[in-house]
Amino acid sequence: MSSSVVAYGCRYCAPLNHRLLYLAHRRCCTRLPLPSRLAAAYLSSCNLLNPNLRTGNSLIHRMEHGHQHGYRQGYGHGNSKKMDTGTRLWTGSGINRNKAMVEHLQRYGVITSKKVSEVMETVDRALFVPEGTPPYVDSPMQIGHNATISAPHMHAMCLQLLEENLKPGMHALDVGSGTGYLTACFALMVGPEGRAVGVEHIPELVSSSIQNIKKSAAAPLLKEGSLSMHVGDGRLGWPEFAPYDAIHVGAAAPEIPPALIEQLKPGGRMVIPVGNLFQYLKVVDKNPDGSISVRDETSVRYVPLTSREAQLRGD
């Protein structure tokens, strides 16, 4: 039986190894991959079809015979987008507490880090999703301006990939910061002695992300100045607070932007999707001598890292 592997995303996509854990069911042929080291997380439900926005994120999924199953639906501000099938660790709106969401991620083996579980419990996702949407459902949601907030499992896996580069006192850059959720998590991990920087080229999103953060546990860090949000072209990074121990990029570049490599600290790590039609999530490590090591973590599908005008047009 042949199969193909595809991943879809925009804002935050996470790494997966090539060993896949999956479910098979006559009515549900979507197979759910998880990192091989987390293979104990065997899901018991076949109701995994998740209509993810082109500008949303999901785990890599393997489709039997290479077929995609999905439908069209819009979230948030009434923007209708083509939805691609991905995976969802749970469905419905029964989870009504942030802590319960984190516990589900732990149960399914997505979160194995104590630090990541602590920061995701501390930063309430409900403060960063559009009003009236279920905040703890494992699904991306539109936030307007052709942008999304990622599914909780994507946030969790991204934080784990960068965890060693988000220690107290370190500097972190979030390119395509959107609602500010992940930047707020970065800020809590690096602490007041560190620096977390969000860069987003949509001014309205920067303004709303600041308001979101002000309501969150990261508010004191914003007030004190160790967390800051900026309007700018993320392809150019944010030189003011460089070099960075951790850089996250939430859209696919045709090649790794030289400015981001330059702003990465020796010993630092960048996670960035690269490619056009075929894209790979690349982990970029800058060695102590300044040389660069790059590896492909997994296949992904992100919207392009592009200009503000192109994003607003939906190019």
- For the stretch 62-81, what's the b/e string if a residue is b when 16 or more beta carbons lie within 10 angstroms of its beta carbon? bbeeeeeebeeeebbeeeeb
Who contacts 59 (Cβ-Cβ below 8 Å, separation ≥6)? 7, 14, 16, 32, 33, 34, 86, 87, 153, 154, 157
CA-based torsion, 93, 99, 100, 102: positive or negative: positive
Cis? peptide before 140, omega within 30° of 0: no
Say whether 291 is catalytic. no
Of the residues 117, 139, 150, 216, only one is catalytic, namely: 150
Q: Residue 15 is encoded by which pair of tokens?
A: 């790494």
Q: List helix spans (H) across 191-301.
A: 203-214, 219-224, 258-263
Catalytic residues: 150
